Structures are given as structure tokens and as C-alpha cells.
Amino acid sequence: MEDRRLETHPDLMDPDWREHAEVDAWLGAKKDLKKRRKQSSRRGFRVSGGPVLVLALIALVVAAVVVHRVQGRGVNDVPGFGQPPKAVPVSGGVDLNRPYDRTPAANWREGIDGVIVPPGQAVGDFTAEEVDAAYRTVTEAIAAARLGSRALQYADGSELLRLLAPNERVRLEPALTSALTVEKGKYLTLIGPNRLLQVSPRMTGFLTAKPGEKGELVVHASYTTAYAFDAHPGEARSPSDIVPFVRDEQDYVIRKAPPFAQADAGLSFGEGARYHSNMACDASKAGLLAPQYADKSKPVDGAPVVDEVDTYDPTKPLPSTGNCG
């Protein structure tokens, strides 16, 4: 059983801390005792020594050790609060505790909550309830591909695969279960060697639905995702160096059985296009996402200057060229 007694607390076992705290506590106790004696003498009685005084001094020493130790620790040092960033802040105005500040994602919502899902209404052969179910499936697919821990931490496409129609699963399984490839990076966000900060990605976007062929519903997802990366001091000069953006325009096709075969019923990918910026082009060529500061290549010459707010706004046209061409 774990020893939770106060006298065996790790902080109290540190001789340097104990020596420092004991001196502070003893001096503080003597000062406090003198003060109490003066006050007591005015009231007509005297504070005596003995066991009570010894116990009081021990309690003060313990409190001093614990308080001194805790005051020197940040919230990220306490178990359960996640791994702290390497440095806070990085020079040049980048605050790794608030990485999205001064970026277009500053006011976006965390994760899939940033994608607006309209209320279900009947579309073509699909009832309002079926459209609602289709929206839920699509948001799960987006979360699995762009936000899921299996994808981001392990480049594992299993969460996305289980949401697909049987035949679509067979078609994409080789790509989604392969090693890191450009093809796999079309469906999953694959993180390169740089580490993400312990903050949620930010998103903005929306879903719409329209009828496809008989028995088909096409759900279009228009959204942008911002990711925040860790950095050593001196690596990043501005928030754009640690926050890359990925914008997606993606059709998802939901099919019924009948008229489709049972193996084709469910979710499949339709047409799609992507745009990204503030990312490392070296990593991008391998289908990976990495922060701009990690890039050893030069930016694309003659890349068009764009308004960042419009660039990442899903209601605006998708730009044709990112920072990597």
C-alpha cells in the first residue's frame, strides 16, 4: 500500500528543503511567540513552554516545508495537468501557454465544436432523422481523421476505418494502415517529428447536405483546423511559426441499401480539396504536418499575399496555393 503518512512525504525527505524550511519556521515561530507573550502579558497571563509549544513548532515546520515547496511549483508540474511545454514563453512574443493568440484561430472553438452542424431536414430520399444521423457520422469521421489521438499520436487510421461502408473500408484500408505516406496524409493528419502542445486543435467550419443519386446523400464539410506545436527558445519568432492551418473542402457520401448493395451502404469519401499554410514544406512533401519553424527549405518564391482571415474562412473560396506551393 502506498505510504501516505505526512512524515514520509517526498518533500519532507529532502534534507536541503527541510533545513531551509526549519530555519524559516523556527525564526517565524520565535517571532510569533514573542508577539503572543507581549499580548498575553497585557491581558494578565503568561504563555508557558512545554509539549504544546513543541507541537506548535513542529506543525509550523511542516507547513513551511509544504508551502515553500508548493509555491515553487507550477500547475503543469502537478500530476494530471499534462506535460508542460519546453519553455514559456519563447522569445519573440510567442506564448506557448496561449499559442493561438494573435492568430486567426484565437476565437475559434476547440475541436469538433468549431464545426457548425445544422438541424436535420429532409433531403431527397433521406428523412430529417436520417440526415441528422448522417451529420453525426460525418463529424465523427472528421474528428477521427483530424483530432483523434490514434491518428495524431500513432498515425493510426483504425478510428476512421470503422466508420466507413464495408467496400470503402476495403478500398482505403491499405492506405490507412500503411507506414507514413503522402496517400495516408490525404485522409489523416500525420504529425512529423515535432511535438504538439498539450492544447486542443481549434476549428471553424460547417456542414451542408444535398441529394446525390437515388439513395445517396452528399454531406459537404467546409472547415479549417489549427494545430499548436511546441518549440525551444529561439526556434519561433511569431505565432505563425508554431501554428499551421489546414483547410478542407470535403464531400462525404452516405448511401442506403436498397437501392445500393449492403456492402456499399454507409459512409464513403467523395471529392475533396485541401489548402495549408504556416507549415514546414519538407514535412509536407512526405504527407506530414510540422510547424513552419522546422522547415529547412526556403518559402515558395512569388507566393501570393493573401488575407489570412479570408484564407481560413470556410465561407470564402479555397485558395489555390499555400506556403509550399
Identify whether residues 119 and 60 lie together within a single domain. Answer: no
Identify whether residues 184 and 255 lie together within a single domain. Answer: yes
The rounded distance, in Å, linking the Cα atoms of 108 and 204 is: 6
Identify whether residues 150 and 61 lie together within a single domain. Answer: no
Nine cell digits for residue 260: 445500393
Nearest to 56 by CA among 19, 38, 30: 30
Domain count, the chain: 2
User: Is residue 283 in some structural domain?
Assistant: yes
Query: From first to last of its 325 residues, what are the pLDDT tens digits of the chain?
Result: 444 444 444 444 454 444 444 445 444 545 554 555 555 444 443 434 454 444 444 444 444 433 333 333 333 333 332 333 333 333 346 889 999 999 999 999 999 999 999 999 999 999 999 999 999 999 999 999 999 989 999 999 999 999 999 999 999 999 999 888 899 999 999 998 899 999 999 999 999 999 999 999 999 999 999 999 999 888 888 899 999 999 999 999 999 999 999 999 999 999 999 998 899 988 888 899 999 999 875 554 444 455 677 888 898 888 876 667 5
Which letter does DSSP use for residue 48 in this model?
-
Residue indicated by cell numbers 437515388: 214
Q: Which residue segment(s) compose the domain that 214 sits in? A: 109-311
User: Is residue 212 in some structural domain?
Assistant: yes
Q: pTM here?
A: 0.69
Identify whether residues 164 and 251 lie together within a single domain. Answer: yes
